[in-house]
């Protein structure tokens, strides 16, 4: 279980054990497709011709017909809401030409995201000994989906989707039980057991839970609900520093400006046990001498935030603006002063 904004782990049990992901694989399938859309390679309105391979897929299906043309958006909804294996293969073939090449793309993105214990061989989660992931890696992937594609992520909250004359409900029954839940995906095979990656948002705090290998649909739902309730009850998330906010200043020698403002390039959120926020302590570590020129975004030091002597967050402090070299006179004066230090 992690908090989405801060990325901090709140609870874990065997998070790095490789397991078959079943249909949780489709989280990466949609991630790759969302990437292709964001990069202008395809659009939601593109029509995909359904191959015989896609049409013949067994297991959960959207029930698309071979030779028919289906919009990318409809196929995505078929994957997200109905967990359609046929829709997954159709999208994989459209984006990459073949499911095999698409699986290679899935693995490339997994490595980029830091999913170091994952390997995909297909777009559906169909059982294969070389197809595996971990709870930690799935939490990383879920967080990336939520952060990078918020508009598309909203589709995970859709409770049912109709294609043709077939109306199928979302298998994530937490959507009906808890109004704060808005995603993500279920999975089930005999080897994987009943699995669920869920996410909920309450009072501006978002938690992602990953429950794998349970014995029943009820067990994965109850387990996920218990984790989410625990997280919201015993933890809180605060915005510690805003992007571009001056946290401290550094003396810069031989520069046009004597001091440079330091801060962070992105908002920094922190998750701590409820009631402990005021006990946080921060320390700035800076090099003894900093010389111009300084470029905006250049790392010049670090900030460590600790709770009860345990480091909770550690980030680089970066220059918030350029600070070019000073005049010949200023450089000369500072050079002499540094000699005398």
Please give the Cα distance from 24 to 141 (Å, whole number). 10
**Roughly how many angstroms between the first and final C-alpha of the chain, as a whole number?**
51
For the segment 291-310, the average pLDDT, to the nearest whole number, is 95
Structure tokens that stand for 64 in this block = 């698309």
Catalytic residue among 5, 6, 23, 260: 23
Catalytic residue among 5, 26, 185, 254: 26
Residue 307 has phi, psi (to 5 degrees) of -130, 120
How far CA 23 is from CA of 12, 61, 100, 135, 169, in Å, comes to 22, 12, 17, 14, 16
Tell me how far apart the 2 most distant CA atoms of the chain are, in Å.
84
Please give the Cα distance from 4 to 31 (Å, whole number). 17
Catalytic residue among 6, 60, 83, 209: 83
Determine whether 23 is an active site residue: yes
Q: What is the pLDDT of residues 48-104, one digit of tens each?
A: 999 999 999 999 999 999 999 999 999 999 999 999 999 999 999 999 999 999 999
**What is the distance of C-alpha 177 from the center of its chain?**
24
Please give the Cα distance from 128 to 25 (Å, whole number). 12
Q: How confident is the model at residue 164 (pLDDT cuts 50, 70, 90)?
A: confident
Q: What pTM was computed for the model?
A: 0.92
More confident residue, 166 or 31: 31
Q: What is the pLDDT of residues 324-341, one digit of tens each?
A: 999 998 889 889 988 887
Q: What is the pLDDT of residues 93-116, one digit of tens each?
A: 999 999 999 999 999 999 999 999
Q: In sequence order, what DSSP letters do the residues of 57-88 get, joined into one string? A: --SS---PPTT-EEEHHHHHHHHHTT--HHHH
| Complete domains list, the chain, with CATH | 2-237 (3.40.710.10), 242-340 (2.60.410.10)
Determine whether 159 is an active site residue: no
pLDDT for 337 equals 86
Q: How confident is the model at residue 179 (pLDDT cuts 50, 70, 90)?
A: very high
Determine whether 83 is an active site residue: yes
> Do 250 and 286 meet the contact criterion of CB atoms below 8 Å apart?
yes
Structure tokens that stand for 144 in this block = 């990336």
Nearest to 315 by CA among 261, 243, 236: 243
Structure tokens that stand for 126 in this block = 């169909």
């Amino acid at each position: 279980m992690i908090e989405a904004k801060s990325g901090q782990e709140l609870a874990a049990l065997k998070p790095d054990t490789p397991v078959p992901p079943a249909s949780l694989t489709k989280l990466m399938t949609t991630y790759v497709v969302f990437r292709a859309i964001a990069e202008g390679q395809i659009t939601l309105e593109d029509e995909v011709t359904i191959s015989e391979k896609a049409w013949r897929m067994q297991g959960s299906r959207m029930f698309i017909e071979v030779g028919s043309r289906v919009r990318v958006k409809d196929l995505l909804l078929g994957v997200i809401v109905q967990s359609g294996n046929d829709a997954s293969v159709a999208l994989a073939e459209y984006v990459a030409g073949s499911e095999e090449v698409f699986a290679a793309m899935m693995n490339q993105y997994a490595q980029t995201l830091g999913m170091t214990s994952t390997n995909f061989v297909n777009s559906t989660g169909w059982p294969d000994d070389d197809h595996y992931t971990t709870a930690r890696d799935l939490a990383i992937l879920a967080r990336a989906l939520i952060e990078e594609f918020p508009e598309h992520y909203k589709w995970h909250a859709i409770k049912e989707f109709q294609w043709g004359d077939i109306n199928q409900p979302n298998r994530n029954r937490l959507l009906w039980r808890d109004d704060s839940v808005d995603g993500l995906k279920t999975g089930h095979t005999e080897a994987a057991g009943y699995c669920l990656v869920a996410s909920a948002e309450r009072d501006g705090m978002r938690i992602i839970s990953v429950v794998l290998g349970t014995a029943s649909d009820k067990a994965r739902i109850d387990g996920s609900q218990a984790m989410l309730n625990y997280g919201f009850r015993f933890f809180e998330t605060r915005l510690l520093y805003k992007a571009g906010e001056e946290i401290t200043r550094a003396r810069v020698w031989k520069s046009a400006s004597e001091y440079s403002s330091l801060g962070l390039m992105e908002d920094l959120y922190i998750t701590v046990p409820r009631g402990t926020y005021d006990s946080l302590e921060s320390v700035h570590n800076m090099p003894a001498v900093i010389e111009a020129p300084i470029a905006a975004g250049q790392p010049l030091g670090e900030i460590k935030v600790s709770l009860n002597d345990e480091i909770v967050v550690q980030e680089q402090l970066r220059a918030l603006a350029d600070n070019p070299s000073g005049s010949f006179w200023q450089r000369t004066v500072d050079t002499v002063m540094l000699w005398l230090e």
